[in-house]
Structure 1
Amino acid sequence: MVGQVGVPGNGARAVPGGGSAMWACGGRRRRRLLGGLLMLLLVAVALRRFNLTGLVPMQLKGRTLGLQARDSQFFLEGKPFRIFGGSVHYFRVPREYWKDRLIKLKSCGLNTVTTYVPWNLHEPIRGTFDFTKNLDLKAFIKTAEEVGLWVILRPGPYICSEWDLGGLPSWLLQDPEMHLRSTYKGFTDAVDYYFDHLIPQVVRLQYKNGGPIIAVQVENEYGSYAEDPDYMAYMKAALLERKIVELLLTSDNKDGLTSGFVSGALATINFQKMDPGIMTYLGTLQNNMPKMVMEYWTGWFDSWGGPHNVFDVDEMMTTVEKVIKSGASINFYMFHGGTNFGFMNGALHFDEYKATITSYDYDAVLTESGDYTPKFFRLRELFTSITETNWPLPPVILNKASYGAILMQQCVSLWEVLPSLLEPVKSEQPINMENLPVNNGNGQAFGYTLYETVIPGGGELHSHNHIRDRAQVFVNSLYIGYLDYTMQQLSIPNGQGYRVLRLLVENCGRVNYGRSLNNQRKGLIGDIFLNKTSLRNFKIYSLEMEPRFIESLHKTFPWSAVPDSAVGPMFFRGTLHVQQTPRDTYLKLEGWEKGVVFVNGKNLGRYWKIGPQETLYLPATWLKQGNNEIIVFEERIAGRIIQSTDLPFLGRIHYVS
């Protein structure tokens, strides 16, 4: 019997004994045969995965042009395309809910999600970066791709967004010469280092690299700031140099369109009501280019002490239909607002200082907890008719829980915990929060700062407008009153001997919009005077109230039973018991004055009796089956219970007009 053995390219020869004789040959021949078979296998696999005309991976086949703006319309890979988008910020939504919110966006008939990127969360300490857990930007973008959505990325570095300092990290303000959003070297060096770490997270997720990112925004609303004519060109180059290859955009309101524009990027516009001729005006700035409303404001944010702003659904739909009829693309800001968890809310300061509330419900298309609103169903109906597509049914809304009253059973005074938990900074003069020598030299970013000094008697205490933003004043542990932007003078009663003057100063939120960004240092930013004499010799305590601090509270100190009448500043502790699988709920702090709530060590956000917000959203993902620890830091007048309810209340309604 004669058999044939061959390797491609090497010919073949007869081997006595057939197939079994093949294995009697030398080891070198066997290795050559196995190598050839392995090569054939690899080639077969490659043929299944690759397009041999250029060896381009199949997921990249046909991905050479990307999103283009020409001939008055968008084209995606050469085919006409309109952007129907909605804004969802991953950092305002628990990671476990990302997919739910994105599926709802898709089922509304939209094809694109837009998100900002908050620098101050990703680089909280200079040179230390975090892209994990709820800050896993890549995971959010991949989730959008899985759902079937395109992505427009808005990486900043400034994002506005009613977020503390517009997303810029507070350690930038340690530099007394700092000029934010400019080509000042101290700023551009920090941006370059940040982008060196941020942009590699997203480069491979661009459309031309097989991902869902079809466009990237250059900075944000710079036309409303516009203090450096070279800045936008620098920002554009910073993206291009780091291999951003997709369509570039800018975003501004009408007044900022011309000064926020940069050559080589498509200008888009932001508004809530469509001024006559606005689209024509946009067209005159960039001839024969497609028009896009990057931010169509579906509602508005709220400030402490004001009403809950609501934008009428009929009025919204009238404008949306005009935008669609004009042929423009549109992105809904916000589609889902989410929550300013912790101390992350921003503020405005024009005629007066106004801090943004914890909720970022925004009267958006979805509520703060992800529930549908009438706006959702009206938009879904509209986009179903436009696209002639039967979108998947919207996901079922999960029921909320009412866990009843949570009794605060224990308490401990701030004055009791300070000496053991925190080492004070000693300084002849007051030091602002950002320049305190804490956090490895990065200063204090958020929360409260306590300033203590000794005074010999009473008199008139005057802040000279050096308090940012609100200070409770104590003599020893006796509450005297508060100082802020409007209340700048306070009478200190006379007393015998030397006494301790304490100022518990809260950073209520840094301004996120306008030209005062460079003046957002917090705490005491200058001298405080008693009877026209500047106070000296301070002990300064940094109370950022990070999770480690909250954890140490109940490990270090014996807590006391809550008295019938409790006055802060004080920490209170109670237990929320969950018998079954946790569900979303809302915490109502009726009878409490002002403070912060922590759930299982996480900062849920601020509350304040002046409203409008009366409930705090507590996502089920922050809860566990069994006992959940609730800690409240109350500044002044404490209640005894917190009510868990299944309904939110964001305050008396004011219709935006």
Structure 2
Amino acid sequence: MLMISSSYSRGFITISCIVIFLFYVIHFFSLFTEGLSANATHFTLEGVPFRILGGSIHYFRVPRAHWRDRLLKLKACGLNTLTTYVPWNLHEPERGVYVFHEELDLEAYVRLADELGLWVILRPGPYICAEWDLGGLPSWLLQDKQMKLRTTYSGFTTAINSYFDKLMPKIVPLQFKRGGPVIALQVENEYGSYAKDDQYMSFIKEALLSQGISELLLTSDNREGLKCGGVDGVLQAVNLQKLSYGDVQHLAELQPQKPLLVMEYWSGWFDVWGEPHHVFDAQEMISTVRELLDRGVSINFYMFHGGTSFGFMNGAIDFGTYKPQTSSYDYDAPLTESGDYTVKYHLLRNLLSTYNNEPLLDPPSVQSRRAYEPVVVTHYISLWQSLQCVETRIRADDPLNMENLPANGINGQFYGYTLYETDIYTGGELNSRNHVRDRALVFIDRELIGVLDYRTQKIRIPHIKGEMTLGLLVENCGRVNYGPGLDNQRKGLVGDITLNDVPLKKFTMYCLEMKPSYINRLESLKWVSVGKKPSYPAFFRGRLVVDEPTDTFVKLPNWSKGVVFVNGRNLGRHWSVGPQKGLYLPGPWLRSGDNQIVVFEEFKADETIHLSENPEYGKIIDVSRHPFCTLM
């Protein structure tokens, strides 16, 4: 036995030594592996001239079952690089709780790109903009009343370090020098447009390097941001849509003898509620791209495929007026929201074929969609009945903003609606003092009397003798994702509201984040047949029977405003003000047989829910005629 043990030990030691030796050999050679380099007027990859022909597709905006289809279409268009943001607020939805599965499996997404022969540029933020709630920053950061986002404030940097401790070990093995497809990473995003802490970008750079990031680092800004958005040792790139402003020349002068990269070439534009659908002329896009390529510039199309901001994850803009963005992120990109080819795609493919040394792949077949038969709404349940399913109701003298509500045992509610109720004993002038974020339905004894928002801050309450219950159903319509207003994106009631100039007290608050678990709990309640006139707001239910699950669009032409859920999944918001008139429903989220559609409706419901083969984005406006997009 001693001889056997001794032999076993020697063998184990020998194997261990070999493993250690191989590790150091691999590490040694990785030091001399030349990845993407920006040390001349053009990029090189492994020492060979290389041009980045990239396209942005966000994994978190595309159903996982459609990833392969979208990436194959990108490659077939003649692009060689995939770019994507990484949304911190999805990967760490609660402090210390990390999610990296299903649509959030970043490693699987990058490996799929590698399998398909694509290089990858990651844009891990921590801030990403992306027309995404709070620019991708988790709103639980705002529980700190002193929080200063995108600065070296210790509360922010500590949170970043904790997040990077979880994120970067997933990215490091995927780098080019480790045999993976990741050839570059972006340091933060568009900081030059914000730039209020001259130490911040250096902090982010060092945070990446300390975690083992060894590939090329770059920044991304519009022309104005180039002045102060850079950091030593990091390549600067520019964002633009037109060449008339001299952005590329400005970049060339700023960093001579460096390759030129347009990190975001805006192929279209995003939409906000209440305004037309934005499009950008295909021929003008191709003309600009051809000129960029002829000048030797590398380019990344933002977006190549926009996808959808499912759930409550849309952002907002506020340049003096708050405007929430739509759930659709179609962006008028070369691939539509549902993955269809556009004129832009075909023109771009023809152009890029002349910049590829080998014939392009045949584009994959277009995925089928269906216009299912209209769904008949059979039952409803009022919001007031649904409060039985709220796990936690909070009582406090003063109204609490969403982020500081202990929702379902978790410190903070971050999305959806919050109901605030208090007793009043007289009528008069109710004044929100602009403390409603972002929109409130106002009720007296649970009967709607009006709406408060940024524009309407006062409402008259009728004089009725006796005690009345005042209710405010406050909706977080989406946090601003760009600009200096990020620190001020707490939602719900963010301060006192007054009745006849006296602050109201003693509130009961109900958290209505409308997660799948909440929608599923509603099934335990007694739903009412639609034959009876509903009391609004309410949840309406119908059944969609499917033989073979296929992509479709949900349309609600005779409804007003609310949210759509299919099999518990939140598709996004619907609102009659447009421009978006249909919500994308991915086939993989349906099942053969019965599927349940639930619509939360604030004002007016119809008897049917329509399902269409095609989207409807409303009246259009051509952004090539308007210069506002140069602000971003």
Q: Same fold per TM (> 0.5)?
A: yes
Partner of 2:244: 275
RMSD, aligned α-carbons: 2.4
**Alignment length, in residue pairs?**
621
> Which of 603, 606, 609 in structure 1 is aligned with 2:576?
609
Partner of 2:604: 637
State the 1:420 CA deviation.
Answer: 5.0
Task: Indicate whether 1:187 and 2:151 are aligned.
Answer: no
CA separation in 2, counterparts of 1:275 and 1:155? 30
Partner of 2:544: 576
> Deviations 1:613-648 (Å, cap 9, x if unpaired)?
000000001100000000111111111111011111
CA separation in 1, counterparts of 2:270 and 2:492? 25
State the 1:52 CA deviation.
Answer: 9.3
Secondary structure of the residue that 2:291 maps to in structure 1? Answer: helix
Letter in 2 for 1:430: P
CA separation in 1, counterparts of 2:226 and 2:289? 21
Partner of 2:556: 589
Whether the 8 Å contact between 2:219 and 2:235 is mirrored in structure 1 is yes
Task: Indicate whether 1:159 and 2:155 are aligned.
Answer: no
Whether the 8 Å contact between 1:461 and 1:529 is mirrored in structure 2 is yes
Q: Structure 2 matches for 1:261-300, cutoff 5 A? A: 261-300=230-269
State the 1:145 CA deviation.
Answer: 0.3
Aligned residues with identical type, % of pairs: 55
Moved more, 353-362 or 267-276: 267-276
Whether the 8 Å contact between 1:467 and 1:525 is mirrored in structure 2 is yes
State the 1:492 CA deviation.
Answer: 0.8
Q: Which runs of 5+ in 1 are unaligned?
A: 1-26
> Deviations 1:378-416 (Å, cap 9, x if unpaired)?
111111111142111000002211112101100111111
Q: Which runs of 5+ in 2 are unaligned?
A: 626-632
Secondary structure of the residue that 1:404 maps to in structure 2? Answer: coil
Change (3 A) 1:413 1:378: same
Partner of 2:629: none
Task: Indicate whether 1:560 and 2:528 are aligned.
Answer: yes
State the 1:258 CA deviation.
Answer: 1.6
Partner of 2:114: 145
> Which of 591, 602, 621 in structure 2 is aligned with 1:654?
621
Q: Structure 2 matches for 1:12-27, cutoff 5 A? A: none
Q: Structure 2 matches for 1:397-436, cutoff 5 A? A: 397-436=366-405
State the 1:441 CA deviation.
Answer: 4.3
Task: Indicate whether 1:202 and 2:162 are aligned.
Answer: no
Partner of 2:417: 448
CA separation in 1, counterparts of 2:23 and 2:209? 28
Task: Indicate whether 1:79 and 2:48 are aligned.
Answer: yes
Partner of 1:517: 486
CA separation in 2, counterparts of 1:601 and 1:563? 25
Secondary structure of the residue that 1:516 maps to in structure 2? Answer: helix
> Deviations 1:325-358 (Å, cap 9, x if unpaired)?
1111000000000001000000001121100000
Whether the 8 Å contact between 2:392 and 2:407 is mirrored in structure 1 is no
Secondary structure of the residue that 1:621 maps to in structure 2? Answer: helix
Change (3 A) 1:260 1:495: same
State the 1:56 CA deviation.
Answer: 4.0
Task: Indicate whether 1:468 and 2:440 are aligned.
Answer: no
Change (3 A) 1:39 1:122: closer
Whether the 8 Å contact between 1:369 and 1:617 is mirrored in structure 2 is yes
Q: Structure 2 matches for 1:344-493, cutoff 5 A? A: 344-493=313-462
CA separation in 2, counterparts of 1:145 and 1:297? 25
CA separation in 1, counterparts of 2:201 and 2:258? 20
Change (3 A) 1:565 1:115: same
CA separation in 2, counterparts of 1:353 and 1:28? 79
Moved more, 565-574 or 303-312: 565-574
Task: Indicate whether 1:315 and 2:284 are aligned.
Answer: yes
Letter in 2 for 1:507: N
Q: Structure 2 matches for 1:225-236, cutoff 5 A? A: 225-236=194-205
CA separation in 1, counterparts of 2:27 and 2:404? 51
State the 1:567 CA deviation.
Answer: 4.2
Q: Structure 2 matches for 1:43-58, cutoff 5 A? A: 55-56=25-26
Whether the 8 Å contact between 2:240 and 2:247 is mirrored in structure 1 is no
Whether the 8 Å contact between 2:30 and 2:178 is mirrored in structure 1 is no
Letter in 2 for 1:153: L
Secondary structure of the residue that 1:381 maps to in structure 2? Answer: helix
Whether the 8 Å contact between 2:392 and 2:408 is mirrored in structure 1 is no
Q: TM-score, normalised by structure 2?
A: 0.95
CA separation in 2, counterparts of 1:115 and 1:530? 48
The structure whose Rg is larger is 1
CA separation in 2, counterparts of 1:423 and 1:372? 47
Whether the 8 Å contact between 2:563 and 2:600 is mirrored in structure 1 is yes
Secondary structure of the residue that 1:203 maps to in structure 2? Answer: helix
Partner of 2:628: none
Whether the 8 Å contact between 2:423 and 2:469 is mirrored in structure 1 is yes
Whether the 8 Å contact between 1:63 and 1:77 is mirrored in structure 2 is no
Letter in 2 for 1:578: V
Q: TM-score, normalised by structure 1?
A: 0.91
Partner of 1:624: 591
State the 1:275 CA deviation.
Answer: 2.8
Change (3 A) 1:52 1:428: closer
Whether the 8 Å contact between 1:62 and 1:77 is mirrored in structure 2 is no
Change (3 A) 1:473 1:28: closer
Secondary structure of the residue that 2:185 maps to in structure 1? Answer: strand
Q: Structure 2 matches for 1:296-307, cutoff 5 A? A: 296-307=265-276
Letter in 2 for 1:644: L
